[in-house]
Structure 1
């Protein structure tokens, strides 16, 4: 299973980073336009702040999911884990990834329920569904679960998950 899961997860992770970078460029563009409109044109675009906030949600959530896959998040490498004997360390690391995966499932499910419940409402100044604010959270939950599963399988197989950018 790990043989096909790793390339798929690496591809998804890289795609998420490309989307996050595009989102960052979108934030810079929208905020620049907002500042230009406010101070040069003396006509602030009312939609710019709302759109920038939507971009921030996508950048943050996809970045967090990639952080789980590439082990770029804090907390998983503690002193306690490092000083444990190897046979105990692997079980502790598996437990950590199981807990992160459970968190991802719970986050994804509840974010989807929330997104579904607010779909009929519109984001002020944009006219887009309010559910767009919660969809990246649901997607990140699914990705965090998938990436945690990959780490668990790799630990059991005695392998290491290489970051997506290698």
Structure 2
């Protein structure tokens, strides 16, 4: 298992880096769209009708992609206060409980996000002419990445590969 994890690490690291960069691009794009909306409303006195819908969709993408990378890097909430007083075995147990809770939440994101996508596919966003179901795609993709990164964390922990810098993507 250890060798398999080490073999797929470059791929998962690249995937996390791509998700992080995509989230950053989405944040910048949303900022530009909102700037255009404010400029149009207050300077041109003609606010673009599409800007709010696009901004909300971009926001969903960068939030869910960024959150999944945060899971991989260990930046999400956990049992930090107890970690300082727990023995090593207790830390492993608490981290695993935290990861299992995240895994359950991410699975629910994918399942219910898929149901929402299917249920709203026939409706159209009036200002964009696109399916409302597309707005739930970030929930599904973010949930899938969160599942992948959480399973990786658990497997690394039980293969003896976990350390403070194991998930860093900044290299």
Q: Answer whether TM exceeds 0.5 for this pair.
A: yes
Q: What is the rounded CA distance, in whole Å, between the counterparts of 2:104 and 2:43 in structure 1?
A: 49
* 8 Å CA contact retained: 1:65, 1:141: yes
Matched, 1:51 2:48: no
> Which residue of 2 is the match for residue 69 of structure 1?
72
C-alpha separation in 2, matches of 1:130 and 1:6: 35
CA RMSD of aligned residues (A): 1.4
Q: Which structure 1 residue ranges, 4+ long, deviate > 4 Å from structure 2?
A: none
Please give the alpha-carbon distance, in whole angstroms, between the structure 1 residues aligned to 2:84 and 2:20: 29
- Give the Å deviation of 1:22: 1.1
Which of 21, 24, 40 does residue 21 from structure 1 map onto?
24
The equivalent residue for 2:168 is 163
Q: Which runs of 5+ in 1 are unaligned?
A: none
Between the aligned partners of 2:20 and 2:92, the Cα distance in structure 1 is 29
| CA displacement at 1:32 relative to structure 2 | 1.4
Q: Distance in 1 between matches of 2:11 and 2:97?
A: 23
- Separation in 1, partners of 2:137, 2:120: 11
Q: 1:98 aligns with which of 97, 100, 109?
A: 100
Deviation at 1:91, TM superposition (A): 2.1
* Residue of structure 2 in register with 1:42 after alignment: 45
| Cα deviations by residue, 1:17-76 (Å, 9 ceiling, x for unpaired) | 1111111121121111112211222111111111111111101111111110111112x2
| CA displacement at 1:82 relative to structure 2 | 2.7
Kept after mapping to 1: 8 A contact 2:79/2:94: no
Moved more, 48-57 or 81-90: 81-90
Deviation at 1:77, TM superposition (A): 4.1
**TM-score by structure 1 length?**
0.92
Gaps of 5+ in 2: none
Count residues in correspondence: 165
- Mapped to 2, the partners of 1:138 and 1:94 lie a distance apart of 23
